[in-house]
Chains A and B, each alone.
Chain A
Amino acid sequence: MKGLDLAVIGAGPAGLAAAIEGGKRGCRVAVMDMNLQPGGQLIKQIHKFFGAREHSAGSRGVDIARRLYRDAEGVGVEILTSCEVYSIQPGNRLEVILTSFGDSNRGHSQSSTYMRRRHESISAKQVVIATGGAENALNFEGWTLPGVMGAGAAQTMANVWRVLPGERVLMVGAGNVGLIVAYQLLQAGAEVKAVVEAAPEIGGYGVHAAKVSRAGVPILTAHTVVRAFGESQVTGAQIARVDESWNPIPGSEQELDVDTICIATGLRPNTRIASLAGCKLMYSPVLGGWTPIHNKRLETSVPGIYVAGDAAGIEEASTALEEGRLAGIAAAVALGKGRREDREEIEAIAARLSSLRGGPFCAERAVAKQEILSRAEAICQKD
C-alpha cells in the first residue's frame, strides 16, 4: 500500500466517523481492523440508542454501523479487515499484518496455506487511533473455566453470529453492559438466573434495569460471584452477599444452576498501540483507567497521532461518533485540506459532545475529560 494521508486504526463508530470526515475532505484514507467485519462493537448493539437525533438516537447500533460503512465507502475510504496494526514507528510508520484466508475451491481447506499472513509497513501523514475498549476480567475461584466469558463476548456470539453462548446465565455487573446483555440474552432465548452487582446500587441506566426486572430476572445489589463450579466447563455458580468492603458475608452463599457466567465489570481503553507509539497516558478511573492524554482536537502528545472513542476514555457510542468526527476533521485540517465551514462544524460537534456529557449520570465523565485536556496543555500541541 502506498502512503496514506490518514490511517485509522479500528473500524468502530469513532474510526469510521473519523475516516468519513477525512474522506469527505479529499484525504486518502484507510481504516484497518483486526476483525472479520467492520463496525466495531456497534454490530452487536441491537437495542435502540439513547441520545439526540443528531446521534441517530432511536436507531439500533447495527443499523448505524451499516450506514457508517456505506458513507465511508461513498467518500472513497478503504476498509481493511483481518488487518492488525501491531506497532507505530517514529514518523507514523504503521507495522501491519494482513491475513488472508484461502477458500476450499482452491484446495486450501486442509492445508496450512489456508491462512496467509503478510507484513507491510504503511506510512501515513496522520493517524487516528480508534481501538476501542477491552473488557475487564474478574478474579474468582474458577474464573478461567470455559463458560466464564466477557458479557461482550456473549453479546457478539448471540447477536452477530447467532449462536447462543449458554442456556442458563449468571450476569456479573449491573452497569449498562451487564443490563443490556442480560436483556439481549433473554431475547436470544437464554434464561438469565440473576444479575449480581457488588455495589449497593445499580450502576446502569434505570430503564435498562427496569426491562430486565420486568422480565422476572432478579437484580441483586451488594452481591457478587464467589466461585464457578465445574471441571472442564461451568456447571454452576456460587454467589454471596457482600459487606461494605465488598467482602462476601459467610453464610449468605447461594448456588445457581448456570452453564455460563458473564462478566460485565467495566471496560478499559485499549491503549496498547497508543503506548507503543509513545503517546503519554494518564490514569483516569472514571474513563476506565490508563487513557491517552489528548487536546480538544483529540491529538495526543505525539504530533499527528489522534485518539477517539473508547480508546480516548470509555464513554458511549454516541460520544465515540462525535469524537471520531472531530479527530477526522482535525487530521484533514492539519493536512491543509480543511474547509471554510470547518470552524463552525467543530464548534457544533463540541457543543453536542458537552450535551452528551450533561446530566447527573455523565457529569463525572465531563470532569474527567476536562482533566485530560488540562494535562494536555503542557504536553500536546496547542489547540
Chain B
Amino acid sequence: MSEGLGVKGYLSAGELKSAPGIPSEERMRQGPVAVIECIQEIPCNPCEAACPTGAIDIGSPITNLPRLDEGKCIGCRLCVSACPGLAIFMVDLTYSDESATVTFPYEYLPLPEKGQTVRAMNRAGEPVCAGTVIRVQNPRVNDKTPVVTVAVPHRYAAEVRGILRVRR
C-alpha cells in the first residue's frame, strides 16, 4: 500500500469511491449535498443526530460508517460543523453556470471574508485554483467551528477541500 488515508493522510480516489457517505454523480448534479469523507469504523455518531432530515444513518453499533440517504439530504450544512473529525463537506454543482461551491469547516484565524479571493486547496494541502469566498458562518450551534463556502470552477469541485491558511 503506497497511498490512501492510512499512509499519506488523505483519501485516495479509490477510497472515496467506496465510501457509503459519498453521493452519486446524479445526486450531485441536482443541488447541494453532503459529502461524508468518513471511511474508518471509529466509535462516533454526532453527524447522525445533527441531520434534521434523517439523511445520515449510523445506527448500532456506533462504529458503523455513516451512510448517506442522498434523497433526504437538503444541503443544510448542519453536519459540516457537527462532525468532530471535520470530515463532512457540502458540494453544490448548481451554484452557477461557471462555478460550483464547496463548503468546509475552517478552524483557523484569520477567517476569510465574503468576496475575498483565496487559493483553494486539495486534500493534500496543495493549491488547486483560485476561489471566491461566498459565505462564512459561525453561529452558536457550530460551537466555534466556522464553516466557509467558496466558489470554484466546476471541474475542481471534487478536489477542493479547503483554502490556503494565512499566517498572521
Which A residues lie at the B interface, using CB under 8 A? 47-53, 57-60, 174, 186-187, 189, 191, 195, 200-202, 205-217, 219, 221, 318, 355-356, 358-362
Contact = CB atoms under 8 A, between A and B. Distances in A.
A48 B145 contact: yes
Interface string B96-132: 0000000000011100000000000111111000000
A174 B8 CA distance: 11
Contacts of B39: 206
A60 B38 contact: no
Contacts of B83: 207
Nearest to B122: A214
Contacts of A195: 9
B61 interface: yes
Contact of A215 (B5, B60, B162): B162
Contact of B62 (A215, A355, A360): A355
Nearest to A211: B86
A202 to B, nearest CB: 5
A210 B45 CA distance: 18
A207 B86 contact: yes
22 contacts: A48-B145, A49-B84, A50-B85, A57-B46, A58-B143, A60-B143, A60-B144, A201-B6, A201-B7, A202-B9, A207-B83, A209-B9, A210-B37, A210-B123, A215-B125, A216-B121, A216-B125, A216-B164, A219-B8, A219-B9, A358-B62, A361-B42
Contacts of A51: 43-45, 62
Given A50-B42, A207-B38, A213-B8, A359 B61 contact: yes
Contacts of A206: 5-6, 9, 11, 39-40
Contacts of B82: 58
Contacts of A215: 125, 162, 165
A50 B43 contact: yes
Given A47-B84, A206-B6, 5 more contacts: A57-B44, A202-B6, A202-B9, A219-B9, A361-B42
Contacts of B5: 202, 206, 209-210
Interface SS of chain B? loop
A52 B45 contact: yes
A216 B5 CA distance: 15
A262 B63 CA distance: 31
A378 to B, nearest CB: 31
A21 B50 CA distance: 30
Given A210-B87, A361-B42, A191 B167 contact: yes
Contact of A210 (B10, B43, B50, B60): B10
Contacts of A189: 109, 167-168
The residue in A59, A202, A216 that gathers the most chain B C-beta atoms within 10 A of its C-beta is A216
Contacts of B43: 50-52, 318, 355-356, 358-359, 362
The residue in A206, A215, A359, A361 that gathers the most chain B C-beta atoms within 10 A of its C-beta is A206
Contacts of A205: 40, 42, 85
A381 to B, nearest CB: 30
A221 B46 contact: no
A50 B44 contact: yes
B41 A359 contact: yes
B6 A48 contact: no
Interface in B54-96: 60-63, 82-87
A-B pairs, top 5 by smallest CB distance, nearest first, are A207-B85, A216-B125, A359-B63, A209-B9, A58-B46
A213 B145 contact: no
B97 to A, nearest CB: 28
Contact of B42 (A47, A53, A174, A359): A359
A214 B121 contact: yes
A191 B162 CA distance: 17
Contacts of B45: 51-53, 57
Given A50-B43, A201-B7, A216-B126, A187 B107 contact: yes
B63 A358 contact: yes
B103 to A, nearest CB: 14
A355 B168 CA distance: 43
Given A50-B85, A214-B10, A207 B125 contact: no
A362 B39 CA distance: 15
Nearest to B164: A216
A206 B39 CA distance: 8
